[in-house]
Amino acid sequence: MLFDKYCYDGTHPFQISKVSTDETSLCIDRSDAEARMEENNAQIDELQAKLYAEKKEGVIFLFQAMDAAGKDGTIRAVLSCLSPHGVHEAAFKAPSSNELAHDYLWRIAAQVPAKGEIAIFNRSQYEDVLIGKVKELYRSQANARRIDLDKVIEYRYEDIRNFEEYLYRNNIRTVKMFLNVSKDEQAKRFLSRIEEPEKNWKFSGSDYEERAYWDAYQEAFESAINATSTKHSPWYVIPADHKWYMRYVVSEIILATLQDMDPQYPVVTEERLATFAKYREELLKELPAGYSPKPAKKKNKKKKKPQE
């Protein structure tokens, strides 16, 4: 697939300084990207309906990024096509005192989708190896004396790999997307939040203060992606300087994942079909004489534009 160049599945290393944040190579221009995304969304909607009906496999679409990379807008733009049935978003902010009283994956496990469902993780378990690593938050949390704090991050990488593999073996996929924005582009977006009144609510002083840790966060993302990229739970590092392009690529990844899952509507047995004639006859008796059910509509499937 064309977006394979953004995929890290453990077969090759990820070097954050070597990847582009602003390339748009898979589309001609913005209008082309938006047209393709609209077609993708129609297919995503149909596949999600089948996934919900079949109830054999679930999936987590997980988003991580630096501030102002566009997580919220991407989630709205790409996943608003989904039915609310069988879809939920989990936003993982700073852990509460109750969450801190449990193991760090406890709050994550509570949001894992059931078979047939989609979960959208806005941040995730990776916060504990990103901000948790950069700020060394684990050192101020309650730990048993036997815990070697110098190995906490290394152990958490292992925990996360095992957790995601466990989910995969139990019919839940994890698809991880890092929206990779540049420091300059982040500055421009922060400025727009300051200068445009309707965006003021999006900006806080803490957003700017986190920029002082930019290099540490870049290293933390690189280390986390390299330590947790696997065949069954890959990472996708998506250029995020152009929001229209980022959203298009995300839609392609989501569509390809659902196509690979290949959900199907459950097959009705011959015995059950045989009862339909009886129910049809009884229902028609309740309606005015001469009523005739409308024939089922055939769906017109749009052909996807070939990608070069």
Choose from 28-37, 84-93, 296-305 the range with maximum mean pLDDT.
28-37
Residues 153/155/157/161 CA torsion (nearest 10 deg): -170
pLDDT of residue 306: 41
CB 81 within 8 A of CB 293: no
pLDDT mean over 49-65: 97
CB 50 within 8 A of CB 263: yes
The strand order across the sheet containing 58-65 reads 7-8, 235-239, 172-180, 58-65, 118-122, 87-91
pLDDT mean over 14-32: 97
Tokens at residue 288, please? 């005015």
Residue 262, CA distances (Å) to 43, 54, 86, 130 in order: 12, 10, 17, 33
CA atoms within 13 A on the CB side of 271: 0
pLDDT at 92 over 50: yes
Please, which residues bridge with residue 96 across strands? none
Per-residue pLDDT band at 297 (split at 50, 70, 90): low
Q: Of 86, 127, 136, which Cα lies nearest the Cα of 108?
A: 127
pLDDT tens, position by position, 183-239: 999 999 999 999 888 888 788 888 889 999 999 999 999 999 999 999 999 999 999
What's the predicted TM-score (pTM) here?
0.90
pLDDT at 298 over 70: no
Indicate the DSSP class of residue 92.
-
pLDDT tens, position by position, 145-157: 999 999 999 999 9
Which SS3 state, helix, strand or coil, does residue 91 take? strand
Rg (CA), the chain: 23
List the alpha helices (DSSP H) in the chain.
30-54, 71-79, 97-100, 106-109, 131-134, 152-169, 183-195, 205-210, 214-228, 243-261, 270-285
What mean pLDDT value characterizes the chain? Answer: 92
Buried b / exposed e over 221-238, threshold 16 CB at 10 Å, is bbbbbbbbbbeebbbbbb
Sorted by where each starts, the structural domains of the chain and their CATH numbers stand as 2-261 (3.40.50.300)
pLDDT mean over 66-75: 94
Q: Which residue has the higher pLDDT, 281 or 1?
A: 281
